[in-house]
């Protein structure tokens, strides 16, 4: 069911049979991106990401990029509150970071492509994502945004301990549908490198009167998995700060998983190996994509390791 076009009777497009190139969806964490308030900052991690993208294009794939925005959206929200302004709402700030980060990524990627004699154009698309108004996440904020809290926590905030310290927490409902997926598909089919679903997508509620923004930040990995499934991509990569999925992470018994069956990975998830505040959503997202389309190549790796991971020399690959 398509939430935004209940009267649309057209047959669903079999995307995999109507394209000339394979598609890779590459998901970037918000911590890999430069601060939108410091546009002149350099970032070695981002350089590695862009080199991954170039390598994937050279390997014959069309590319769709998604990215997080937890640090950036929190900074913008803090800036707004420090000026005592009427709050615009988290949906507005997610849209703003889609623009600022999308511009930053697209500019740098355009420069790299030009310097290496590639002809592809980069398109940044503001992307809306439908969520359920009854999602339990609205009553239990879990998504960390902004910097680590070092002082007194404001009374109107919800805060919680994360792997990096005390952080502000906001609602993070599950994505139901990517409302602009047709536009993403069209841009991909036209040969563009597409930046979409930035910051998890702009969260909206859908009813008979239209779309309405909502106070939330959607998890980037979950929406990336949904987009990978929607587009029937051939290769889905989550790029993150660790070199592989690990059992007993941070202990003396830490064990990397290089090639893991989906059923085994799910068993480890159920057993509590992957906390929801860190690796849990990534593992869930990889599993969801793989189980929905067993022929999809599904990988987690560090920035710069994409092609090595595709060859099985780095990262974690989820198999059937």
Measured over all CA atoms, what is the biggest interatomic distance in the chain, rounded to whole angstroms?
57
> Is residue 268 within a helix (H) or strand (E), and if so which, with residue range?
helix 262-270
Which residue in this structure is represented by tokens 């511009």?
103
- Whether 304 sits among the annotated catalytic residues: the reply is no
**Residue of 31, 35, 51, 266 with catalytic role:** 31
**Residue of 30, 68, 199, 201 with catalytic role:** 30
Which residue in this structure is represented by tokens 């159920």?
270
Q: What is the DSSP letter of 209?
A: T
**Residue of 70, 201, 282, 304 with catalytic role:** 282
- Whether 290 sits among the annotated catalytic residues: the reply is no
How far is C-alpha 26 from the geometric centre of its chain's CA atoms? Answer: 8
Q: Please, are residues 183 and 125 in contact by the beta-carbon 8 Å criterion? A: yes
**Environment class of 320 (CB within 10 Å of its CB; exposed 0-12, middle 13-18, buried 19+):** exposed
What is the rounded CA–CA span in Å between residue 123 and residue 249? 37
- Whether 220 sits among the annotated catalytic residues: the reply is yes
- Whether 51 sits among the annotated catalytic residues: the reply is no
Angle between helices 262-270 and 280-292 (to 10 degrees): 140
**Residue of 29, 68, 102, 220 with catalytic role:** 220
**Residue of 69, 143, 199, 246 with catalytic role:** 143
- Whether 160 sits among the annotated catalytic residues: the reply is no
How far is C-alpha 99 from the geometric centre of its chain's CA atoms? Answer: 15
Q: Hey, which bits of the chain come out as E strands?
A: 22-28, 61-67, 122-124, 128-131, 143-145, 158-162, 165-170, 175-178, 193-195, 202-207, 210-213, 235-239, 245-247, 255-257, 259-261, 297-301, 316-319
How far is C-alpha 216 from the geometric centre of its chain's CA atoms? Answer: 15
Which residue in this structure is represented by tokens 């409302």?
179
Active-site residues: which are they?
30-31, 143, 220, 282
């Amino acid at each position: 069911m398509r939430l935004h076009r209940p009267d649309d009777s057209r047959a669903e497009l079999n995307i995999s049979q109507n394209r000339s190139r394979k598609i890779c969806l590459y998901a970037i964490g918000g911590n890999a991106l430069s601060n939108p308030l410091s546009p002149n900052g350099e970032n070695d991690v981002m350089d590695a990401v862009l080199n991954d993208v170039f390598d994937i294009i050279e390997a014959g794939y069309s590319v769709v990029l998604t990215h997080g925005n937890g640090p950036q959206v929190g900074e913008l929200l803090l800036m707004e509150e420090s000026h005592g302004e009427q709050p615009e709402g988290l949906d507005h700030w997610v849209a703003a970071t889609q623009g600022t980060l999308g511009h930053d990524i697209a500019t740098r990627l355009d420069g790299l492509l030009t310097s290496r004699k590639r002809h592809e154009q980069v398109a940044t698309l503001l992307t809306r994502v439908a969520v359920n108004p009854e999602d339990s996440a609205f009553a239990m904020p879990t998504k960390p945004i902004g910097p680590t809290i070092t002082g007194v926590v404001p009374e109107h905030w919800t805060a919680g301990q994360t792997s990096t310290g005390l952080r502000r927490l906001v609602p993070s409902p599950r994505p139901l549908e990517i409302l602009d997926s047709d536009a993403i598909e069209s841009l991909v089919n036209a040969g563009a490198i597409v930046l979409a679903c930035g910051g998890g997508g702009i969260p909206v509620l859908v009813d008979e009167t239209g779309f309405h923004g909502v106070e939330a930040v959607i998890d980037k990995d979950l929406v990336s998995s949904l987009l990978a499934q929607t587009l029937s991509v051939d290769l889905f990569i989550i790029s993150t700060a660790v070199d592989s999925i690990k059992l007993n992470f941070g202990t003396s018994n830490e064990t990397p998983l290089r090639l893991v069956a989906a059923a085994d990975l799910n068993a480890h998830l159920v057993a509590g190996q992957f906390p929801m505040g860190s690796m849990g959503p990534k593992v869930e997202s990889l599993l969801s994509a793989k189980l929905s389309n067993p022929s999809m190549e599904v990988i987690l790796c560090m920035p710069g390791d994409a092609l090595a991971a595709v060859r099985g020399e780095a990262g974690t690959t989820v198999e059937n």
